[in-house]
Amino acid sequence: MKLLDFFKQHTKLKTEIVKTTKPSPEHILFANTVLEVINPTLEKFGFSRHRTEIEKNNTTIVFRKDNQYIKVNGSTYPTDYPYSYNIILGEGDSEDFFECDWNSISLWLLKMKIESNTDAKEFEFPFGDKVNFSINHANKELLKYGETFLHGDLTLFYKTRSELNKNREPYKIYSTDKDGNYTTTYEPKSIEQKKKYS
């Protein structure tokens, strides 16, 4: 599928931010399938497309409903091998890095919370004829494990987010003093976010 065909199929919404930077055929196909499969599901729960970014090695699609958002993020950056994608559930500002990083969880964390004996993790990034099967499978998991979130009940989301953040360290800043000795401090904004969302 070519980029022009993609935009013929998926007209930009008035409030949607769309960015493309030399997208690869793999990411155009991935984004197209997400919009064909997951978008209609989320529309039924009141979510609409907020941002679509397709690049050579990355796709990010964000759907919003009021203060909630769902982000589908797939990467094929060589440094991210094995290639994967995630469905991320969040609350608040989906554009602010700190807010998004501390006030969201991956769908697979909810799956582990609901089925503690499962070996949950991010989805393997699909290629070729595996794309449709993979995105349909992810959509089923979203409906099953993200059901309460989709309906606006954030109780399980809050509990899972809090447990995740309690076990995380704030971001570290490494620097050297005048004698060349390394020192470590915590980044202030991440300390604040940890307290707020733990």
Query: Which of 94, 160, 86 lies closest to 124 in space, CA to CA?
Result: 86
Give SS3 for 24. coil
Do 18 and 37 lie in a common domain?
A: yes
- Say whether pTM exceeds 0.75: yes
pLDDT tens digits, 149-195:
999 999 999 999 999 999 898 888 988 888 888 888 888 888 888 88
Which pLDDT belongs to residue 8?
62
Do 185 and 87 lie in a common domain?
A: no
pLDDT tens digits, 18-40:
888 889 999 999 999 999 999 99
Which pLDDT belongs to residue 5?
62
Do 110 and 182 lie in a common domain?
A: no
How far is the C-alpha of 155 from the C-alpha of 7, rounded, in Å?
37
Class of residue 79 by CB neighbours under 10 A (exposed 0-12, middle 13-18, buried 19+): exposed
pLDDT tens digits, 35-75:
999 999 999 999 999 999 999 999 999 999 999 999 999 99
Name the residue range of residue 198's domain: 170-198
The domain total for the chain is 2
Q: Distances from the Cα of 38 to the Cαs of 77, 108, 115, 156, 193, in angstroms?
A: 23, 16, 23, 22, 30
